Structure 1
Amino acid sequence: MDVVTLGESMALFTPITQGYMRYASMFSLKIAGAESNVAIGLARLGHQCGWMSRLGKDEFGKKILNFIRGEGVDVSCVSFDSSAPTGLYFKEIVSDKEINIQYYRKDSAASRMKPSDLNEAYIAQAKYLHLTGITPALSEGCKETVYAAIEMAKKNGVTVIFDPNMRRRLWSEKEAKEVLLDIISNVDIVLPGQDEAMVLFGEYEPEDMAQQFLDHGVGSVVLKLGAEGAYYKTNKESGFVKAFPVERVVDPVGAGDGFAAGFISGLLDGLTFVEAVKRACAVGAMVTQINGDIEGLPEREKLERFISGSYQKDVNR
């Protein structure tokens, strides 16, 4: 197993038409969840991934399991809860520049995850454990599960990659900062957004922000800078990587998950750190051009064409 990840996935409803959701009469039904998005992104690039979670024993839960399994992700460590529902997620696309998110995930099946749900042998076989800051915000049990997963990974020599992925609607900024900083001090690589870094450490230049993470105990950090690209820093090297140009951003939601998938894929393929960050930027850019959280995640051939420039030429013909 290349990568194991842990987190909640939900049924995603999006109005067929743009505008306020109150006027919508028809919705599309898709699947969304930061961690499973990353697992699917990695699977499409040819890597072996496993996703751990809990789903409601309902039609949404069955759909999510079947879909993620159909994308080539191992779901053998996913359990069903007959007493709690699968979470729901609505994406309101008012316009190309205004996208609003509404979650219905309180007391969901995934929020009931606990350390005893984990399989240490399953985590131990992986090269990387991928986690996000969403899961510890769901409940006290989920937070304990994240810490237990990190402990299992470290015990077995598995590299832990953490995306803070701060969701302010799930907890207070004070609690989020306290927990995320504690988790950051216990992982190997962190993939924060610039806004998240500002919340955690204050307003600094990217180079100084990255150093703050290293001073906090992380071995490597890749700071996502949106349309400007990314800044990376390790104990040995640092630098900026330019973003890939995108003529029109259709849907930015899920771009960070694509970034994580591209970066981890680069590490798995033995690329240099800077080349892994470049691949991350490429996948993130591709995701923004397609409506949906996972619809724009590329397969390897398409990614290689995009990086070389031929994909963009094909799109513009």
Structure 2
Amino acid sequence: AQDGERQFSYDRDKSAARELFRDDYAESLSNFLKDIDLLYLSGISVAILPPHGRESLLNLLQTLRRAGVIIVYDPNYRAVLWSSPGEARDWSERVYLEADVAVPGFDDEKALFDDATPEQACNRLAGLGITEVVMKNGPSPCHVAAGQDIVCFAMKFPDRVVDTTAAGDSFNAGYISSRLCGYDVAASVRAGQLLAARVIQYPGAIIPHDATPPLYRIIK
């Protein structure tokens, strides 16, 4: 479309990720991940797993969190991957209960939980015990609940939008990497916004290497 939006079809039945929580893999996966600093996952990863795989994933998140691993979750709701909105809502809430940081899009929260505003969505997620809620909202301001107050960050949208594929993932990458580098929430939100704005000016999800600005330059 002229505004850079696209339509997608999915064929996840043979995804390698579906095999991660087979009985003979689960223990080795837990051992492999036990020394990481942070684990990021999306609702797509949850959706494509069979029921026993989803339970194994939750057990893994609980184990890693007890070991001090930061859990970051983006529901990234795709209706076609779930049997019903109710199933997606129930599983998303179960994962949220294991998350330290949430980076959802407001459209997803509105669709799944009927939140009327980004502020309402932030308050609901903070009420689940999530210490850092970063609510993306396309070209609209980003809302963050990482303390007592909800802070709003305006989004400067580029004049030229070619392809919005991976806009949310790009924001997440900029935000999470900045936080891991020790930057505060405000600087990290700005990094996420600027990286997403850069990515949507190119076709496809992965932009040319020479078009990717260094993290320090984004934050400055």
Which runs of 5 or more structure 1 residues have no equivalent in the other structure?
1-93, 309-317
Q: 1:237 to 1:121 in 2, by over 3 A?
A: farther
From the two aligned structures, give the one with the greater helix fraction.
2
Query: Paired residue for 1:121?
Result: 31
**2:138 is equivalent to residue 226 of structure 1:** yes
Aligned with residue 64 of structure 2, among 150, 153, 163: 153
State whether structure 2 residue 33 is matched by structure 1 residue 138.
no
Q: How far 1:175 sits from its partner (Å)?
A: 0.3
Q: 2: distance between equivalents of 1:237 and 1:274?
A: 13
What is the CA–CA distance in structure 2 between the aligned matches of 1:135 and 1:304, rounded to whole Å? 30
Q: Distance in 2 between matches of 1:121 and 1:300?
A: 35
Report how far residue 207 of structure 1 moved.
1.7
Partner-residue secondary structure (3-state), 1:125: coil
Instruction: Please tell me whether the aligned partners of residues 170 and 192 of structure 2 are also in contact (alpha carbons under 8 angstroms).
Output: yes
Distance 1:275 1:98 in 2: 28
- Give the deviation of 1:180 after TM superposition: 0.2
Greater displacement, 144-153 / 128-137: 144-153
Q: CA RMSD in A?
A: 2.2
Q: Report if the CA contact (8 A) 1:286-1:296 is conserved.
A: no
What is the distance in 2 between the residues matched to 1:279 and 1:164?
21
Quote the residue 2:117 is aligned against: 205
State the partner residue of 1:105: 12
Match of 1:175 in 2: 87
- Give me the whole-angstrom Cα distance separating, in 1, the residues matched to 2:202 and 2:213: 17
**Any runs of at least 4 consecutive aligned residues in structure 1 with deviations exceeding 6 A, and if so which?**
none
Aligned equivalents of 1:207, 1:153: Cα separation in 2 = 29
What percentage of residue pairs aligned between the two structures are identical? 28
1:296 Cα offset (Å): 6.0
Q: How does 1:222-301 map to 2 (within 5 A)?
A: 222-295=134-207, 299-301=212-214
Report the equivalent of 1:32: none
TM-score, scaled relative to structure 1: 0.62
In 2, the alpha carbon distance for the partners of 1:174 and 1:111 equals 22
String of CA shifts for 1:229-272, please: whole Å, max 9, x gaps. 31100234431111133011111111111111111111111111
In structure 2, the CA distance between the partners of 1:130 and 1:156, relative to structure 1 (3 Å rule), is: same
Once residues 242 and 184 of structure 1 are traced to their aligned partners in structure 2, the CA distance between those partners, rounded to angstroms, is: 25
Mapped to 2, the partners of 1:107 and 1:101 lie a distance apart of: 17
Aligned residues: 214
Determine the C-alpha separation between the residues in 1 that align with 2:29 and 2:49.
20
Give the 3-state SS of the residue equivalent to 1:130 in structure 2. Answer: strand
Deviations 1:18-39 (A, max 9, x none): xxxxxxxxxxxxxxxxxxxxxx
1:132-159 CA distances to partner (integer Å, 9 max, x unpaired)?
Answer: 1101111224423421331231121001
Residue 241 of structure 1 aligns with an amino acid whose one-letter code is F
Larger radius of gyration: 1
